Amino acid sequence: MIDPRLRDRVAVITGANSPLGIGAGIARALARQGVKVLLASLPETPPASTTGADRIYSAAKATSTDHVRDALRADGADAESLAVDLADPAAAPAIFDHTETHLGPVEILVNNAALCVPDTFRPDPARGATTVAAASLDAHHAVNTRAPALLMAEFHRRHLRRKARWGRIVNISTDAAPGTPDQISYWATKNALESLSRSAAIELGSAGITVNTISPGPVQTGWISADMNTRFAEFSPLGRVGRPDDIADLAVFLASHQARWITGQTIYAGGGKRMI
């Protein structure tokens, strides 16, 4: 049996309020290894009218973070939650203060939260999208790029202050980060997150902190309809779309003792949809 040596470590996971999401999956997987988890999320207000998969996805994202916390506790985990707006620059110290008060010093940081609102360079956007503008770019940057950067900086400051020598940062990107149509701001800010991760890996390594990025392909978190599922499955040599636990298991590995010699890497987890 492989021991990842994670018992009683303390983790912060952002974007973990949806019970169908990757963040909640990572929280469950870490908790099974005895990690104490703090879920830092802000439920989203669902659109006025949605149908099918969009309705399931919107309802899941509107779930209170406490719901996932309570489910973890019911399984015996040591879990806390904090409703926090990651677009607020004051969120980072507030998250770490809350975690230290209730669980202890943060040793694992998982930046999973993301804003994704379709936008395009086209002046006549398709239904559901908007033409890219300053407001959309700034909103995506605040959550997808600035918040992880501030959280990594806060993690490092507190790590140095207590003279710690072990730390793990796992950032969640997307395999379309290099750029594709119709979600311009989302892809761009995720690509920036991958750059931040590599820079952090270089600068934080001397303190014993590894920094890696998981870049998932399509993962069923409630948004993939039956037709999309069939189409996306054709992109993968393994013949299916991803599940949250596919990403969660990789996050546990990157946090583990066994991944001690891995840092500054972007790992594509999409069943072979993208290869390099």
Residues that are catalytic: 186
Residue in this structure with the two tokens 């999409």, named with its chain if needed: 270
Q: Which helix (H) or strand (E) holds 100?
A: helix 91-102
Cα angle for residues 15, 82, 134 (degrees, 5° grid): 50
Q: What's the Cα-to-Cα distance from 148 to each of 123, 144, 151, 206, rounded to whole Å?
A: 31, 7, 5, 20
Beta strand spans in 142-226 (E): 167-172, 209-216
Q: Quick one: DSSP state of residue 120? A: E
45 near 138, Cβ under 8 Å?
A: no
Residue 224 CB partners (closer than 8 Å, separation 6+) = 53, 218, 232, 241
- Give burial (CB, 10 Å; 0-12/13-18/19+) of 258: middle
> What's the one-letter identity of residue 106?
V
